[in-house]
Structure 1
Amino acid sequence: MDRRAFLTAKKSKQPASVKPLPLEGRTSTGLAVYTGAWTKSEITHLLKRTMFGARIDDINYFAAKTMGEAVDELLNPVAALPNPPLKDYDGVTGAATPDNDVANGATWINSVNNDGTIQSRRRASFKKWWMGCLLQQDRSIREKMTLFWHNHFATETVDVSNANLLYKHANLLRTKALGNFKQLVRDITLDPAMLVYLNGRSNTATAPDENYARELQELFTLGKENNPNYTEADVKAAAKILTGWRVDTTVNTFPSYFTSSRHDATTKTFSSFYNNTTVTGRTGTTAGDLELDDLLNMIFAKNVEVSRFMAKKLYRFFVHYDIDAAADANVIEPLALILRTNNWDIKPALTTLFKSEHFFDVLNRGAMIKSPIDHAVALCREWEVVFPTAAAEYADTYGMWNYIMSVAANNQQSIGDPPNVAGWPAYYQVPQYYELWVNTDTLPKRNQFSDLMIGNGYTRNGKKIVIDAVAFTKKLSNPGDPNELINELFEILFQIPLSQQVKDQLKKDFLLTGQDSDYYWTNAWNIYIASPVTANYNVVNTRLRGLFKYCMNLAEYQLA
């Protein structure tokens, strides 16, 4: 979304040594360290891009830190990894092999059970659990990065089938989310879920399967844009290198392993794109590992192509889809160089990006349409929606997570299930990109969800998740002042400034119930605080719910 037409703002000057190239573009800022204001607006922008929504507590927490300290903390998670998924399903009915070894409410991740019915229910449990990880995320970028890698190394739950492998795969993405990209590519290549998804386990010397070999180059490392690029012969040669790997679903570690008798031990020759590299064929138990290392070293030797491809992927996920000449020269090129000079570690590139003038450029704020997952999860987090937390309530908790998951899925983004190996089209489809998220079908559904959550909420077994408008408002700095309430609310909800005229009209229509004087709200709020009886609560709650519902139906609420 190009906002230059209606947003103008001065940029802080960059040091002469890192002055951006004077190219035409949406914005001319680059990767010089941002030295501008550090207010709720900047904090909220940072949190909305690196987490799912900006909660009041998180905004206040980072307000006590510098910009650099905030970015460093977000990029260095200290919280433990999420607890594993639980058995929230019927483990007996319809199953030829019930999973009676797993107690209700206990985790199933170490239980071997290849019954199709049980695996179907575990897949559902896995997807609910993953949504819960987002809703309960720690104060870091870890969950957002996990989703980034899930889109990059896309798999689909039904195709993988085995939920234990799906959990192992997701745990790999989460554990290595901020680590080394080259190592992650290697780990993914031998990951059991990926070996199943892209037929790696069926890749043998007598029947080479080119599926993973193609996507390794086209989607995971090099991309389609390079000219020249890898050839069909390179795909075939890479497929031969990758022969012999298998998956064992009969032991509770669910490992991948190598069978040398299934491996193509011939020498593989690659095209001029790879400088006519040859990979010597090996035999024996170490052949698969040795040839895989040769293959990856050859691919990553195309370091300019790989680093530019990944810099663009990171940019489009976290900053903006439009990479014009200025963005390419001032952001993509230096970001790619950082990846190369740091031996493919991801964190230095992210640190530079999130601390840059370009990231905080006003033209990059509120310029992304929220993904369905971001919209659903951020709504729950920003409005402080309370989910059941007691251990005995695990079934209701999973049921609530399932509802939020289904909301996102109905709006074109089902966690765990990108539509294909390329990921969700909104992250790569030219020219629409994330404009694809909103259409005549999905926008009304988004509004229906927010209307429900600020209205009656979602109820399951007598328990309810709902936006508590009054409890949320109490956390604002000065809720008794309608002007400060409106201003702070809009700082949290919207990254595009709304005019004072709009603010005044909404204040009058909702908080002042059509009156002109601010005391119509101030008196109502103070009376409620002094005496929070039902009648007084209903007065302020009705006004707040009307205001919040209206705000979430504005087009600006769909932007982050």
Structure 2
Amino acid sequence: METIAAPSCNASTLAAYVPSAQNPWNVSKIKHVYRRLGFSASQDTVDLALPMSPGQFIDSLVDAAFALPPTAAPPWGYWALGDFTDYETENEQFIFDWRIQAGNDFMTEDLRGRLSAFWMNHFVTELEVYFYAPYLFQYYNTVQTHALGNFKTFVHDIGISNAMLLYLNGYENTNVNPNENYARELYELFTLGEGNGYSQTDIIETSRALTGYNHWTEFGGQIYFDVSTHDTGLKSIFGQDGNWGYSDVIDILFQERGLDVCKFICTKLYKYFVSPSVDALIIQDIIEPLAQTMMANNYELVPVLKQLFKSEHFFDERAIGVVIKSPFDTIFGFVNETEFFYDTSIMDAFLYYSGLMGQEIFNPPDVAGWQRDEEWINTSTLTGRWELMELYVTYLFGNGYELTLTDLAKALTNNSNDPYYITQVLVDHFVPKQLYTITDYDIATDIFKWDVPQNYYDNGTWNLDWSTAPYQVTLLLNHIARMPEFQLK
């Protein structure tokens, strides 16, 4: 069962958010949506949402994500080993290419990219265990295909994906030598939660029902079901007796424990998209109604997502800036908020440093995945965030992109020449809520003003076209990246 936290400060309901004079629809709330439902957005993208109502805006994001087709399959996406010319070299290159592709997808796909990252930390596999490019693509394709689809279908399809069959030992689960690994994680991590509504007998009997996916025509090809290695005996799962197979297990699970599944998944969605703090009132007033919505819609995810994201609860001021950014959030969000240049080699660096900060793409630490939030921050990972941001901004400054730094400042401030105003606008662009004190802005302003004599600011001589301005913006951005507020979304 989920751990119950201290009481939440957010008492708003699931009723649809309706803007008012006391609770207006504004840039801050739109940025909140993009930081949670995507990996942030540029100011121009944010501004496009202002004329929309909150409901229209959420509908547009969810509907676009639902309609987005999966990333096109690479030529090698369904290869078996015999299709490779030079397996060792090609497999390494293809994995590299798909890591870059996934990073680009996360950054550019808004809600579909965000949900892909979420589900990859729910239906966990570890690339280092199977390290095979076609299976990596196929796993990713399954996640993209079902990211906003039917959760029951998602559970069914991910369990017999090649990567999962290898990772959780389904390939080794036979009638002669049953393996309980996938059956256990199916209930404990993927659908019900630890100790919630299943017994050890259910695990044993389920493992027998899942036998038979043990063969491929060629090494590295599609793993298929073979009745010769399937246990055809009578099994009892959640009180139902029969000669059950794989699809029967999924049917019985959702028939007998459907509401428990919905509560478990809605709790995970809530903790990821709204707040890691879940108390008894949140369960009663938010999660249980979401679970009922999921049940009433036959496990379709879109109605649940729309109900949550349109709610007063999601838009409550106390929901803004309460989640610690992941390493992906930190760098992908910054790039989207600035629209600064990046290419394949820079994306590779992003992914490399994200791995050093504890989030290596396609390689969670174990089957339970990243625990997120406070787990992202320690003395080494925090300094790693600072170093990555500094390396990236300094790279832009020193490699012909320095004017993009001042272009950002000009665009956000209408080409102001007031250093205090420029500083405040840039700081506020990157943090979910304004800084706590005026002194915090003063410190940042002094850093931005650098060594330029004060009289040049006083008489209006200085402006963002000065030769020193790109370096000054570099200093300010590096300072912002070290702010505690920058680590939140």
**TM-score for both structures, normalised by structure 2:** 0.89
Which residue, out of 363, 366, 369, partners 1:417? 363
Query: In the TM superposition, what is the alpha-carbon distance from 1:545 to its structure 2 partner?
Result: 1.8
Offset at residue 180 of structure 1 (A): 0.5
Deviation at 1:173, TM superposition (A): 0.5
The structural deviation recorded for 1:57 is 2.4
1:82 maps to which residue? 71
8 A Cα contact 2:106 2:117, kept in partner = no
Aligned 8 A contact 1:375 1:558 in 2: yes
Pick from 381, 388, 396: which aligns with 1:449?
Answer: 388
The aligned residue for residue 178 of structure 2 is: 208
Cα pair distance change 1:29/1:219, threshold 3 Å: same
- The one-letter amino acid paired with 2:434 is P
State the one-letter code of the partner of 2:377: V
Find the aligned partners of 2:421 and 2:215 in 1 and give their Cα distance: 59
d(CA) in 2 for partners of 1:266 and 1:65? Answer: 58
Map of 1:374 onto structure 2? 329
Q: CA RMSD in A?
A: 2.6
Distance of 2:304 and 2:45 partners within structure 1: 24
Q: Map residues 312-327 of structure 1 onto 2, 5 A cutoff.
A: 312-327=267-282
Residue 556 of structure 1, aligned match among 472, 485, 488? 485
Q: CA deviation at 1:417?
A: 0.5
Q: Is the 8 A contact 1:152 1:422 kept in 2?
A: yes
1:51 corresponds, among 38, 42, 58, to 38
Shift of 1:423: 0.9
Query: Which is worse superposed, 141-150 or 70-79?
Result: 70-79
State the SS of the aligned residue for 1:476: helix
**C-alpha contact 1:192 1:247 (8 A) present in aligned 2:** no
Q: 2:214 aligns to what SS in structure 1?
A: strand
1:172 aligns with 2:142: yes
Distance 1:336 1:304 in 2: 7
Indicate yes or no: 2:177 matched with 1:231: no
8 A Cα contact 2:397 2:471, kept in partner:
no
- Find the aligned partners of 2:402 and 2:299 in 1 and give their Cα distance: 43
Equivalent-residue separation in structure 2 for 1:467 and 1:435 (angstroms): 36
Residue 362 of structure 1: CA displacement?
Answer: 1.3
Query: Identical aligned pairs, as a percentage?
Result: 30
Between 243-252 and 297-306, report the one with greater CA deviation: 243-252
Measure how far apart 1:193 and its partner are: 1.2
Shift of 1:244: 0.7
Aligned to 1:544: 473
1:28 has 2:11 as partner: yes
Contact 1:209 1:239 in 2 (8 A): yes
Q: 1:67, 1:355 within 8 Å by CA — same for their partners in 2?
A: yes
Aligned to 1:278: 241
Would the aligned equivalents of 1:481 and 1:518 in 2 still touch at CA under 8 Å? no
Three-state SS of the structure 1 residue aligned to 2:121 is helix
Distance in 2 between residues matched to 1:176 and 1:293, nearest whole Å:
17
Shift in Å, 1:83: 4.5
The residue aligned with 1:184 is 154
How far apart are 1:511 and its partner, in Å?
4.1
The structural deviation recorded for 1:109 is 2.3
> What is residue 294 of structure 1 aligned with on the other side?
248
Aligned-partner Cα distance in 2 for 1:190–1:160: 15
Instruction: Give the whole-Å Cα distance in 2 for the aligned partners of 1:464 and 1:169.
Output: 39
1:263 aligns with 2:263: no
1:496 to 427, 433, 437: 433
Equivalent position of 1:98 in the other structure: none
Written as runs of structure 1 = structure 2, the 5 A alignment for 1:521-540 is 523-525=461-463, 528=465, 536=466, 538-540=467-469
State the distance in 2 between where 1:505 and 1:119 align: 50
Q: Which amino acid aligns with 2:272?
A: F
Q: Could you tell me how far apart the structure 2 residues matched to 1:55 and 1:247 are? A: 48
Q: Which digits, 9 at most, give the CA deviation of each residue in 1:95-128, with x for residues without a partner?
A: xxxxxxxxxxxx4324433634543443233223
Native 8 Å contact 1:453 1:466 kept in 2: no
Amino acid at match of 2:448: F
Q: 1:490 offset after TM fit, Å? A: 3.2
User: How far apart in 2 are the matches of 1:148 and 1:257?
Assistant: 28
What is the aligned partner in structure 2 of residue 133 from structure 1?
105
For the Cα contact (< 8 Å) 1:411–1:446, is it kept in 2?
Answer: yes
In the alignment, the residues of structure 1 paired with residue 266 and residue 77 of structure 2 have an alpha-carbon distance, to the nearest angstrom, of 34
Alpha-carbon distance, 1:484 to partner: 4.8
Any residues of structure 2 matched to 1:88-127 within 5 Å, and which? 107-113=75-81, 115-127=87-99
| Residues 16-54 of structure 1: CA deviation (Å, up to 9, x unaligned) | xxxxxxx95322112111123111100000100011123
Q: Aligned equivalents of 2:173 and 2:485: distance in 1?
A: 49
Distance 1:436 1:422 in 2: 13
Residue identity matched to 1:553: R
For residues 308-365 of structure 1, give each alpha carbon's deviation from its aligned partner in whole angstroms, at most 9, with x where no partner exists: 1001110111111110122112211111111111111111111111111111111111
Farther-moved stretch of structure 1 (40-49 vs 113-122)? 113-122
Distance 2:458 2:292 in 1: 58
Asked if the contact 1:208/1:239 (under 8 Å) is kept, the reply is yes
Shift of 1:523: 4.1
SS in 1 for 2:379: coil
- What TM-score comes out, normalization by structure 1 length? 0.78
In structure 2, relative to structure 1, the CA distance for the partners of 1:118 and 1:69 (3 Å cut) is same
Q: Which runs of 5+ in 1 are unaligned?
A: 1-22, 86-106, 282-290, 389-396, 427-433, 529-535
| 2:224 aligned counterpart, secondary structure | strand
What code does the residue aligned with 1:70 have?
F
Distance 1:445 1:307 in 2: 37
Structure 2 residue corresponding to 1:303, chosen from 258, 283, 291: 258
**Per the alignment, do residues 458 and 516 of structure 1 end up closer, same or farther by CA in structure 2, a change over 3 Å counting?**
closer
Structure 1 counterpart SS, 2:444: helix
CA drift at 1:84: 4.7
- Residue type matched to 1:31 in 2? L
CA drift at 1:247: 5.3
Deviation digits for residues 130-184 of structure 1, max 9, x if unmatched? 222223x13x300000011100000011212221011011011012110000000
Counterpart CA distance in 2 for 1:124 and 1:201 is: 26
Q: Flag structure 2 segments of 5+ consecutive residues without an equivalent.
A: 1-5
- How far did 1:520 drift? 4.5
CA contact (8 A) 2:266 2:291 kept: yes
